[in-house]
Amino acid sequence: MRHYNIPIFIPELACPHRCVFCNQSYITGQSIIPKCVDIQNIITQYLSTIPSVDSVVQVAFFGGSFTGLPLDVQRNYLQAALQTAQDRIDGIRISTRPDYITPEIVKMLVENGVTHVELGAQSMDAEVLKLANRGHEPYHVIVASQIILDAGLVLGLQMMIGLPEDTRDKALNTAEQIVKLGAKETRIYPTLVIRDTALANWWKQGRYKPLSLDEAVDLSATLCNYFNQNQVTVLRTGLYPSEDLNNGSGFLAGPFHPNFNELVMSLIWRLRFEKIVKPSPIVNEVFLAANKLNHAIGFKKSNKQYFNQKNIIVNFSMDNQLKGDDFYVDYR
């Protein structure tokens, strides 16, 4: 089964907040608010490219805070998705803020086909949330998570790394809380300095220093390993590169890389191999599932080159019997 998401971006339409890092139109690359007919067109267009067998399809409303929209707008959007493709989609995913969740809202979501709710928790540290001007506290995440789980929905808790006054320990503690709160999914977003935000001013004044790319990749890899060990699926590390981020017009500083997720996966695999590979003249023949091969070899073959430079010979091969992250090494 292959998983397909049909992404629909809702810019900060409903959001009266101004988190210090956020300028949604730069981050999503979109500032036009979709109409129901737009949603239906997007879904129809995506579905025409998705095979009708062996596929799991979800419509995913990303961007702003879905449940901050007026209830009738939320309902209309969800109904637009259901009416277009109820027989083809396996669920609807929304993302929102923790303080925009109530039992009544969640009831409406369930009645209109939502199966997964992702909350932008960002941090479970009160000071970090305050400085980020999030407008909510850790307890909002705790209360909202319980409401979502009580309604039988799949809970996702997104986190950010590198926010002002955040530390590695605080990030690890946030990850621990995410696991304890019963999340089944997460996303890890490194903080970037985006034009026209409060963070951009702080950065210009020297009051904020973003994580380096290496620091962000390293911390993300540690967090991914922790989440994997605790059966929380990491759906994504790094922002989706919008045109504004890619061409640099919205991006000022921070650990942005168009292939951030690949860098993280490459590091995770490199650290796994590092513990068991043996130096030349032994040849380390690593076998893995086909879909893990690229990450194991590394972004732009970085892992292969890394071991070569250390005089360690590593070859990578597929073994179709292997599933998930399983692998073995033949020493020759």
Q: End-to-end distance of the chain based on CA atoms, in angstroms?
A: 35
- Cα–Cα dist 87/154, whole Å: 21
- Comparison of 85 and 121: residue with beta carbon closer to ligand SF4: 121
- 12 touches ligand SF4 by CB under 6 A: yes
Q: How many CA atoms lie within 13 A of 176 on its CB side?
A: 7
User: Helix, strand, or coil here: 298?
Assistant: coil
Q: Determine the interface stretch with ligand SF4 among 14-22, 229-237, 289-297, 304-312 (rule: CB under 6 A).
A: 14-22
Kindly give, in sequence order, each residue whose CB lies less than 8 Å from that of residue 142, ignoring residues fewer than 6 positions away.
181
- Comparison of 158 and 266: residue with beta carbon closer to ligand SF4: 158
Provide the mask over 59-98, with x wherever binding to ligand SF4 is found by CB under 6 A and - wherever it is not: -----xx-------------------------------x-
- 191 touches ligand SF4 by CB under 6 A: no
- Cα–Cα dist 213/143, whole Å: 34
- 187 touches ligand SF4 by CB under 6 A: no
Tokens read off for 159: 């986190």
- Comparison of 24 and 303: residue with beta carbon closer to ligand SF4: 24
CB of 17 to ligand SF4, least distance (A): 4
- 18 touches ligand SF4 by CB under 6 A: yes
Figure out which of the listed residues 24, 28, 74, 191 binds ligand SF4, where binding follows CB under 6 A. Answer: 24
Provide the mask over 134-173, with x wherever binding to ligand SF4 is found by CB under 6 A and - wherever it is not: ----------------------------------------
CB of 5 to ligand SF4, least distance (A): 19
Tokens read off for 195: 């034009």
Residue 154 phi/psi, 5° resolution?
Answer: -80, 130
> How many residues bind to ligand SF4 according to rule CB under 6 A?
11
Q: Determine the interface stretch with ligand SF4 among 17-25, 186-194, 201-209, 311-319 (rule: CB under 6 A).
A: 17-25
- Comparison of 158 and 303: residue with beta carbon closer to ligand SF4: 158
Distances in whole angstroms, Cα of residue 156 to Cα of each of 166, 172, 219, 286, 305? 21, 17, 20, 33, 36
- 130 touches ligand SF4 by CB under 6 A: no
Cα–Cα nearest to 235, from 129, 154, 143: 154
- 195 touches ligand SF4 by CB under 6 A: no
User: Please, where are the H alpha helices in 151-249?
Assistant: 168-180, 198-204, 213-229, 243-246
- Cα–Cα dist 257/263, whole Å: 9
CB of 45 to ligand SF4, least distance (A): 25
- 28 touches ligand SF4 by CB under 6 A: no
- Cα–Cα dist 234/62, whole Å: 16
Question: What residues line the site for ligand SF4 (CB under 6 A)?
Answer: 12, 15, 17-19, 22, 24, 64-65, 97, 120
